[in-house]
Amino acid sequence: MKLEETDRLEAFSDGVLAVIITIMAFNVKPPAGASAAALGGVLPRILVYVLSFVIVGIYWNNHHHMLHAVKHVNGPILWANTHLLFWLSLVPFATAWMGENHFAARPVALYGVVLLMAANAYYLLSRCLIHLHGKDSLLAAALGNDFKGKVSIAIYASAIALSFANRWIGFGLYWVVALIWLLPDRRIERVITE
């Protein structure tokens, strides 16, 4: 038996996302010494890791749901997916830079730029999929007008600008987007069940 093309697309994406997550954990280097202060010094990095882990987890989750409703892939879709993986592959870099500089304004803003580009790439991928499957497809119905996706992009853009005013606003807004998505998104599940 031969797997579908979508299965290999998912497998490759899963592989990249799995390594991204583990590389980020690997970047949280154990502190020198066994004191509580040493452990405390690692806390900012752990805090950033939690955020990045949640964000990559959300992408895996949404990607999983979206691809499950997909029947065909073509060249543009493969590249739209690769494009998404490119921006997600920069998340460990942005995470490490932000964690090492204790949330200085510029790293916080750059982190937002990477998330903004990834969100755009995800939106682009969903449009390529709908283009192939048709506006009347299950997938198009399930994604709807993609309100959450558009709101996320708007919040990320604001967060980047506001990071230079107050970095904690930027960092806080990244959490806001994560929480928007953590609320279970029953759109696709509901349409498929119906």
Pairwise CA distance, residues 73 & 153, whole Å: 25
Task: Choose the binding region for its own copies from 126-134, 145-153, 158-166, 180-188 (rule: CB under 8 A).
Answer: 180-188
Nearest to 92 by CA among 184, 150, 24: 24
CA dist list (Å): 50 to 20, 64, 176: 13, 21, 14
Helix (H) or strand (E) holding 60: helix 36-68
| Cβ closest to its own copies, residue 29 vs residue 150 | 29
Q: Considering only residues 52, 84, 107, 173, which one is a binding residue for its own copies as defined by CB under 8 A?
A: 107
Pairwise CA distance, residues 149 & 177, whole Å: 10
SS3 132: helix
| Cβ closest to its own copies, residue 146 vs residue 189 | 189
In one-letter notation, the amino acid at residue 164 is F
Smallest gap, in angstroms, from Cβ of residue 169 to its own copies? 17
Instruction: Show the tokens assigned to 103.
Output: 């949330």
Stretch 32-71: interaction string toward its own copies, x if CB under 8 A: -xxxx--x----------x--x---x--xx--x---x---
Size of the residue set binding its own copies (CB under 8 A): 66
CA dist list (Å): 183 to 31, 68, 144, 180: 34, 20, 17, 6
Stretch 131-170: interaction string toward its own copies, x if CB under 8 A: ----------------------------------------
The residues of the shown chain that bind its own copies, judged by CB under 8 A, are 1-12, 14-23, 25-26, 28-31, 33-36, 39, 50, 53, 57, 60-61, 64, 68, 74-76, 78-79, 82, 85-86, 89-90, 92-93, 96-97, 100-101, 104-107, 110, 182, 184-186, 189
